[in-house]
Structure 1
Amino acid sequence: MTGIARMSRALAAVAAGLLAASALAPTAQAAPEPKAPGEFVDLRAVDPTIITEMRYATAHTFMGVRVDGYRQPVCLLTRPAARALHTAQRRLLRQGYSLKVYDCYRPQRAVDHFVRWAKDLDDQAMKGEFYPLVDKSRLFEDGYIAEKSGHSRGSTVDLTLVRLPAAPTRPYVPGENLAPCFAPEGERFPDNSLDMGTGYDCFDTLSHTDDPRVRGVQRANRQFLKKTLTDLGFVNLAEEWWHFTYRPETFPDTYFDFPVARRSVGGR
């Protein structure tokens, strides 16, 4: 065998070895998204009549942008919390009302997004609506933003009441003129819910469920919502009329980070 032939065979062997190694090597892929435990469900699978307006899947938020982790406008909850809402809805429908959810399970990545935004004191695009009287530098100190949220445990929900038949609501238009969230009902951003005295996610003490300045029909509406849910095992957060946690929580110590999407539950 000539020297040239031996060299050609050696090069061919090296090439074959490289091809074999590449075939055996795993393909570099992004890590798969985490999925929800089996105890989580899509609320619409438990009760499709409950109205959903998942605000954080839109730009109509206190940050003015869609929130990280909200892939689709779906309400994911632990099964016991969803079933309790179903029971509440059945009672409300007989009285001519419906629940409307604004937020349900919230991934940790969304909470991290809130924290980053709160630390950027130059970004105050939505101040005129959501925190007109609160200095952004105080959002952590005053408890409006925190590094952990009970929503990430899956049994907490933000919601309101709507009188049936539900009136249509117009979408938020980015850049539109903003009205304070505590302005009279006809002046603040339109919502088809009962008048609760403030809009959703209003960073103001007027959002406290039992604030004495909220009277008359607005107070009665808050108490109606609160009683309906507390009778079924929910506990209201005193600082937010819209915030309720079902107890006992299925995951009292776990903060999840799977995305808000239909495929996160039910093996889809």
Structure 2
Amino acid sequence: MAAHSPWRCLLALGLCRRPYRGRWVAALASACVASVSASEGPPWPAGFVDAAQAVPGLVVEARYAGADNFIGRPIAGYGAARCVLTVQAASALAAVQQELQAFGLGLKVFDCYRPQRAVDDFVRWAQDLQDQQRKAEHYPRVDKQDLFKEGYIARRSGHSRGSTVDLTLVARENGAEGGRELDMGGRFDLFDSSSAGASPQPTPAQRANRLLLRALMKAHGFRPYAAEWWHFTLVGEPHPETWFDFEVR
């Protein structure tokens, strides 16, 4: 077997024994071997992949690589609009995506692996109480000085361990790639009590959309974060005590 064959790559990560099927395994295998290719230095450590290659049809809207986020500018450490995840998290996400096909739906990710330098950038911004240009869109009912106390900003993030993802559901009309976002009753990174997964504030239809996302993510091994309907971490993540700082590129 070639040194960088797809199957050797998956076997090394313990994934060949899992019940993934057909093109989903092929896509994951290709992404895995690409991440450890000897012809070019890998842009991230072994065991990480570009989720867009591993999850067919995944929509990537990397908010922190641009200006559409709660700070209003690109964030440190995001050199590309890419979703990088551990192979284990990407494989579980592929299973969610596969099941969503029956509903005519798909996944859109807003953030995946997050470098520690990006978290540090968030902290510096939160300490600058003069910068409130995105308050109306992202924290209209919370004083910026309370973002730490309320748990919206922290000095460490599970995203930096590589198996946490922020995402939503999109409707795939006529099987087209992409699609419109389902109404979740609040935007991504809305720092507000209404963003809690179990909040009673959204409408019944909005709560149903949240529950569908939550149920499918839990069914495939992800743990929801109670305060944010969009935030999920892989149970049994491979790096539970490691916070990485390599650039997304």
Instruction: Please give the TM-score of this superposition, normalised by the length of structure 2.
Output: 0.80
> Judging changes above 3 Å, is the alpha-carbon distance between structure 1 residues 128 and 237 closer, same or farther for their aligned structure 2 residues?
same
Moved more, 211-220 or 81-90: 211-220
Q: Tell me how far 1:150 sits from its aligned partner.
A: 0.2
Which of 188, 199, 211 pairs up with 2:187? 199
Deviations 1:38-85 (A, max 9, x none): 111110221231111010011011001111111001100000110011
> In the alignment, is the contact (CA less than 8 A) between 1:167 and 1:192 conserved in 2?
no
Alpha-carbon separation, structure 2, partners of 1:236 and 1:123:
30
Alpha-carbon separation, structure 2, partners of 1:54 and 1:85:
16
> In the alignment, is the contact (CA less than 8 A) between 1:99 and 1:160 conserved in 2?
yes
Which of 189, 197, 200 pairs up with 1:209? 197
AA of the residue aligned to 2:68? H
Q: Does 1:219 align with 2:202?
A: no
Q: Does 1:133 align with 2:141?
A: yes
Q: Does 1:158 align with 2:176?
A: no
> Judging changes above 3 Å, is the alpha-carbon distance between structure 1 residues 34 and 254 closer, same or farther for their aligned structure 2 residues?
farther
AA of the residue aligned to 1:247? V
- 1:22-171 equivalent positions in 2, closer than 5 A: 36-165=44-173
Q: Tell me how far 1:247 sits from its aligned partner.
A: 1.1
Moved more, 36-45 or 158-167: 158-167
Q: What is the SS of the residue equivalent to 1:250?
A: coil
> In the alignment, is the contact (CA less than 8 A) between 2:172 and 2:180 conserved in 1?
no
- Structure 2 regions of 5+ residues with no counterpart? 1-40
Q: Tell me how far 1:35 sits from its aligned partner.
A: 5.3
Q: Does 1:258 align with 2:242?
A: no
AA of the residue aligned to 1:41? V
> In the alignment, is the contact (CA less than 8 A) between 2:195 and 2:227 conserved in 1?
yes
- Identity within the alignment, %: 51
> In the alignment, is the contact (CA less than 8 A) between 2:79 and 2:247 conserved in 1?
yes
1:233 corresponds in structure 2 to 221
**Segments of 4+ in structure 1 off by > 4 A?**
166-169
Alpha-carbon separation, structure 2, partners of 1:51 and 1:147:
28
The structure whose Rg is larger is 1
Q: What is the SS of the residue equivalent to 1:99?
A: strand
Q: Which has the higher contact order (CA 8 A, sep 6+)?
A: 1
- Structure 1 regions of 5+ residues with no counterpart? 1-32, 170-190, 262-268
Q: What is the SS of the residue equivalent to 1:236?
A: strand
